[in-house]
Amino acid sequence: MPLTDAAVRNAKPGEKPTRLFDGGGLYLEISTAGGKWWRLKYRFNGKEKRISLGVYPAIGLKDARERRDKAKKELAKGVDPGEARKAQKAATLDRAANSFEVIAREWFARQKPGWASGHADKIIQRLEKDVFPWLGGRPVAEIAAPELLTVLRRIEERGAHDTAHRALQNCGQVFRYAVATGRAERDPSGDLRGALPPVKHEHYAAITDPVKMGELLRAIDGFQGTFIVKCALLLAPMLFVRPGELRLAEWSGFNLEKAEWRYLVTKTKTEHLVPLPTQAVAILRELHALTGQRQHVFPGRDPHKPMSGAAINAALRRMGYDTRTEITGHGFRAMARTILHEELQVKPEVIEHQLAHRVPDTLGTAYNRTKFLKERRTMMQQWADYLVCMKQGAQVIPLPAQG
């Protein structure tokens, strides 16, 4: 007799596992603990086999019968439903193993050792926030250009146009890695070339007028904040390194006798050398008396950690400067690059090497910490002297251009 919902619901466990048959090979197996499983008994190539059709009550009598009928149709076509399930499960596992997120995290893990920590953090956060929620579970080989574009449009809608372009670039890198490792056949991101409107990049706010620069230097000289932050402010325009590199400076990298500072460029992980003008050495010697026994030149509230990344900009705002439109910590680099070239006639390649920018030479060397070292020493002292004159409001006569 076919089973009824009431019979299934009221079935009680016995001392041994019991079976209630519904017909067509479908039966309900009841364990001694009371668990109820739907089973299907069938024959394939002369052999008796069984497969599970689910657990009651998650799978009711009606659902179990539908699953039985589906299996019967497969048998009628010469397909073993048990083997078909195994193949489907394997395919599902394979799709999960080759999902966009799995491939992206694998690519990220391989690339991360060669990146600065800040750069790596931005990439993985961008993927986790803007890409994985929509594409993470999709098989990487099945993602098409329109689906990727939908994700990028979602980023654009909140006004993050630059992030959308960067997300497209990162996705393209993931797809190309998938192609290279045999998990995809092509990179769909290439089909989106021109689909996103170009981004107008804004430069860091910087003061490049000598008169206004003198006003800024006098404001720094009169800064009423902590001595540590004031020293950082005094050195920022003089050494014009990246703000993060100044903030993270460690005493172990300084040789005040040789007037040199060596450190690893966070962006490229290459060694860089900064010749120190006499004014910088004087500031550092004075600061050494306060922080010289610590790791960081500019420690923060926690003496074991460097000062906050917002300290320089906060100090500039405290002095009345708008860090969005007038000057920012990073803007000291643009200030030095512009005035050194236009006012002091220093050769651009010398300035670029001191900025630790990529400047390939005839041998293809992108970075060379000792290139133009003699000229750079002269330039750094000339620049520091120039800043002193500007702060005092004196007129500076440029030296002859370096040969």
Residue among 27, 56, 321, 367 flagged as catalytic: 367
pLDDT at 367 over 80: no
pLDDT at 11 over 70: yes
Rounded to whole angstroms, the Cα distance separating 107 from 51 reads 39
Is residue 197 one of the residues assigned to a domain?
A: no
Is residue 399 one of the residues assigned to a domain?
A: no
Q: Could you tell me if 143 and 254 lie in one domain?
A: no
112 is catalytic: no
Residue among 183, 330, 353, 376 flagged as catalytic: 330
Q: Could you tell me if 49 and 107 lie in one domain?
A: no
Q: Could you tell me if 282 and 385 lie in one domain?
A: yes
DSSP letter for each residue of 337-385: HHHHHHTT---HHHHHHHTT-----TT--S--TTTTHHHHHHHHHHHHH
Partners of 48 in beta bridges: 43
Partners of 41 in beta bridges: 50
Residue among 65, 67, 183, 242 flagged as catalytic: 242
Ordered alpha helix ranges (H), 262-310: 278-291
Rounded to whole angstroms, the Cα distance separating 387 from 383 reads 6
Q: Which of 279, 281, 101 is nearest to 183 (CA)?
A: 101
pLDDT at 403 over 50: no
Amino acid letter for position 200: K
Q: Which of 44, 6, 48, 52 is nearest to 26 (CA)?
A: 52
CATH number at residue 51: 3.30.160.390
Give the per-residue pLDDT at 95.
65
Q: Which of 135, 133, 117, 122 is nearest to 172 (CA)?
A: 135
321 is catalytic: no
Q: What is the mean pLDDT of residues 262-273?
A: 83
Q: Could you tell me if 108 and 174 lie in one domain?
A: yes
Q: Could you tell me if 86 and 110 lie in one domain?
A: no
Q: Could you tell me if 246 and 329 lie in one domain?
A: yes
Which tokens go with 105? 């995290």
Phi, psi (5° rounding) for residue 19?
Answer: -130, 135
The answer to which of 116-120, 131-135, 380-384 has the lowest mean pLDDT is 116-120
Q: Could you tell me if 381 and 272 lie in one domain?
A: yes
Is residue 400 one of the residues assigned to a domain?
A: no
Question: Which residues, including other chains, have CB under 8 Å from residue 266's CB and lie 6 or more apart?
Answer: 116, 117, 118, 242, 244, 245, 248
Residue among 166, 176, 262, 267 flagged as catalytic: 267
Is residue 132 one of the residues assigned to a domain?
A: yes
Domain boundary among 91, 112, 146: 91
The answer to which of 108-117, 267-276, 308-317, 351-360 has the lowest mean pLDDT is 351-360
- pTM given for the model: 0.55
242 is catalytic: yes
Residue among 357, 369, 371, 377 flagged as catalytic: 357
Q: Could you tell me if 69 and 139 lie in one domain?
A: no
Residue 131 burial class via C-beta count within 10 angstroms: exposed 0-12, middle 13-18, buried 19 and up = buried
Report the domain count for the chain: 3
Beta carbons of 257 and 276 less than 8 angstroms apart: no
Q: What is the mean pLDDT of residues 303-318?
A: 92
Q: Could you tell me if 220 and 293 lie in one domain?
A: yes
Q: Which helix (H) or strand (E) covers residue 30, if one does?
A: strand 26-30
Residue predicted with more confidence, 266 or 195: 195
Q: What is the mean pLDDT of residues 82-86?
A: 82
Domain boundary among 74, 91, 108: 91
Is residue 199 one of the residues assigned to a domain?
A: no
Q: Could you tell me if 220 and 367 lie in one domain?
A: yes
Which tokens go with 2? 């076919």
Residue predicted with more confidence, 76 or 200: 76
Is residue 343 one of the residues assigned to a domain?
A: yes
Is residue 245 one of the residues assigned to a domain?
A: yes
Domain boundary among 192, 220, 236: 192
pLDDT in tens, 243-256: 999 999 999 999 99
pLDDT at 266 over 80: no
Rounded to whole angstroms, the Cα distance separating 163 from 180 reads 26
Q: Measured in whole angstroms, how far is the alpha carbon of residue 224 from the centre of its chain?
A: 37
Beta carbons of 360 and 366 less than 8 angstroms apart: yes
Q: Could you tell me if 59 and 13 lie in one domain?
A: yes
Q: Which helix (H) or strand (E) covers residue 275, if one does?
A: strand 271-275
177 is catalytic: no
User: To the nearest whole percent, how much of the chain has pLDDT over 90?
Assistant: 60
How much is the CA Rg of the chain, to the nearest whole Å?
Answer: 34
Give the per-residue pLDDT at 117.
77
CATH number at residue 387: 1.10.443.10
pLDDT in tens, 12-53: 998 899 999 998 899 999 999 899 999 999 999 889 999 989
pLDDT at 365 over 60: no
Q: Which of 217, 219, 210, 212 is nearest to 235 (CA)?
A: 217
Q: Could you tell me if 320 and 188 lie in one domain?
A: no
pLDDT in tens, 152-188: 999 999 888 889 999 999 999 999 999 999 989 999 9
Is residue 402 one of the residues assigned to a domain?
A: no
Average pLDDT, the chain: 88
204 is catalytic: no
Q: Which helix (H) or strand (E) covers residue 314, if one does?
A: helix 311-318
Q: What is the mean pLDDT of residues 298-311?
A: 92
pLDDT in tens, 90-124: 666 666 678 999 999 999 999 988 887 778 899 99
Partners of 361 in beta bridges: none
pLDDT at 364 over 50: no
Band of residue 64 on the pLDDT scale cut at 50, 70, 90: very high
Return the DSSP state at 310. T
Q: Helix 161-180 crosses helix 145-157 at what angle (to 10 degrees)?
A: 150
Give the per-residue pLDDT at 290.
95
367 is catalytic: yes
Which tokens go with 200? 């107008």
Domain of 108 in residue numbering reads as 100-192
pLDDT in tens, 194-203: 899 887 655 6
Residue in this structure with the two tokens 């900064």, named with its chain if needed: 274
Residue among 65, 333, 353, 376 flagged as catalytic: 333
